[in-house]
Amino acid sequence: MDSIRVLVADDQAITRSGLQTLLAAQENMQVIGEARNGEEAVALAESLQPDVVLMDMRMPGINGIEATRRIHRSSPHISILVLTVFEDDTVVFPAIRAGARGYLLKDTEQDELIRAIQTVANGGAIFSPGIAQKVLGYLNAPPPNVSRDLFDELTAREREILELIARGESNAEIATILNLSAKTVSNYISNVLLKLHATDRAKLMLMALEAGLGQAGKG
């Protein structure tokens, strides 16, 4: 059996080193590259063509969600397995929509991580138990009853920010992308929450995804 070629993308050196050590001990796996940020992950995935990318979510520059989207768009045969500390809806669902085939938390046991890498490398999908519950709950829940008239009430800037929320960007990332202050972004989001009658940011993101936002990639 050919070795599973893995690219590790994480901004923390100690995490990359730990994963390198773990995977080097496996007979059928090898780490072929390490990325410290989203841009490096995209570039190395393009040049090295790994079987699996272990993707962190919060990294300098473009985040793991956007990096996942770009890799999946250019090389859909590469399986992306998220390995992160974030388990809230505003990260989980955009990552899956972006093309991730698996989503694990960093407190996952080592043998479970190894099985997950093997699973996604073979074309399967795998999620931590808590994440799986979120996904099943989302799939089984009735779609939000969102009137298209409510979206029509949004200004061009508010729609732009809602699009970025659907893509999994944080407030700080939105501020950087749009060259706005964090306070201004927060104010815009408050307005959107009111106009769409959403109770919180997670609900807002799900409404945006249901409306088809967050699918277009940058650059």
Residue 219 in domain: no
pLDDT value of residue 132: 84
Domain that holds residue 160: 148-210
Same domain, 16 and 114: yes
Same domain, 15 and 113: yes
pLDDT value of residue 218: 44
Phi, psi of 153 (to 5 degrees): -75, -15
Residue 215 in domain: no
Same domain, 132 and 206: no
Number of separate domains in the chain? 2
> Does pTM surpass 0.75?
no
Residue 164 in domain: yes
Mean pLDDT by 10 residues, the chain (219 residues): 91 95 94 96 97 94 91 93 89 87 93 95 89 74 59 88 87 91 89 83 80 63
Same domain, 69 and 166: no
- CATH code of the domain containing 175: 1.10.10.10
Residue 15 CB partners (closer than 8 Å, separation 6+): 56, 106
Same domain, 162 and 73: no
Residue 216 in domain: no
pLDDT value of residue 117: 96
Same domain, 61 and 165: no
Residue 19 in domain: yes
- Residue ending a domain, among 100, 121, 139, is 139
Distance CA 19, CA 197 (A): 43
- Residue ending a domain, among 118, 139, 160, is 139
Q: What is the dihedral of CA 87, 208, 174, 84, to 10 degrees?
A: 20
E-strand stretches of the chain: 4-9, 29-35, 52-55, 79-84, 102-105, 126-127
Same domain, 135 and 162: no
Same domain, 124 and 152: no
Same domain, 154 and 129: no
Residue 119 in domain: yes
- Residue ending a domain, among 92, 110, 139, is 139
Same domain, 22 and 57: yes
Q: Could you tell me the sign of the dihedral formed by the alpha carbons of 137, 138, 140, 143, in that order? A: positive
Same domain, 125 and 159: no
